[in-house]
Amino acid sequence: MSEQAKKVELIECPIVLNYNFSAGRAPTQFLRGMKQGKLIGQRSPLTGKVIAPPRGACPESGLPTTEEVPLPDTATVITFTIVHLPIPTSALEPPFIVANLVLDGSDQTFIHLVSGCANEDVKIGMRVKAKWKDQSEWDYSMDNIAYFEPTGEPPVDIEALKASRLEEAKRFLKAKAETK
């Protein structure tokens, strides 16, 4: 049967919501860093934890975060999923990996892609490093990092990582109290 003779069974009815998104002060600072290829977190004055990407307030206390903390572009895979469905606006070919990562020196996870290895080889605790796009393509965007790729270092125990981060936050608070 020709396309014209076929009975209509399906209609396209997309819904598009046009937002004007305002990043806010803290994410703006973060994105300005990204434009220069730098990752900059912020530290909570109450807990000593480092938040990256920062939202401008400590998620536990609500206190404003103002102290900036430069961070490396290496991270640990906290959890991940293998995406098998194509995303309409993305050129990515499924299956690909979306991971919850924590940057070294940060206490908050964020979502990014992990690639540069076989999907089966991605594991929780895997050490990864940002694969930056060419500098000419950098914008005020997390997409300046194309994906994170394995560093080849041995995997990290997540519970041990959590414990060491808590120790780090405590050390920071203690040092802060002593300088007062």
Q: Judged by CB under 8 A, does residue 154 bind another protein?
A: no
Cα separation, 132 vs 178, whole angstroms: 39
- For another protein, the closer of residues 10 and 118 by Cβ is 10
- Give residues with Cβ within 8 angstroms of 98, minimum separation 6: 80, 81, 83, 111, 112, 113, 114
List the structure tokens of 40.
């900059």
Is residue 135 part of the contact set for another protein (CB under 8 A)? no
User: Where do we find the tokens 């220069």?
Assistant: 36
Q: Is 8 in the site for another protein (CB under 8 A)?
A: yes
By CB under 8 A, is residue 20 in contact with another protein? yes
CA gap 102, 121 in Å, rounded: 19
CB of 8 to another protein, least distance (A): 3
What residues from 76 to 95 belong to the interface with another protein (CB under 8 A)?
Answer: 87-90
* Choice between 19 and 120, CB closer to another protein: 19
As measured in angstroms, the least distance from the Cβ of 104 to another protein is 26
Decide if residue 10 touches another protein (CB under 8 A): yes
> What sign has the CA pseudo-torsion 170, 78, 142, 28?
negative
The answer for residues whose C-beta is within 8 angstroms of residue 104's C-beta and 6 or more apart is 71, 72, 74, 75, 76
- Residue 33 as a binder of another protein (CB under 8 A): the answer is no
Q: Identify the H or E element spanning 179.
A: helix 158-179
Contacts (CB under 8 A) with another protein, residues 41-80: none
Residues making contact with another protein (CB under 8 A): 4, 7-25, 27-28, 31-32, 87-90, 139-141
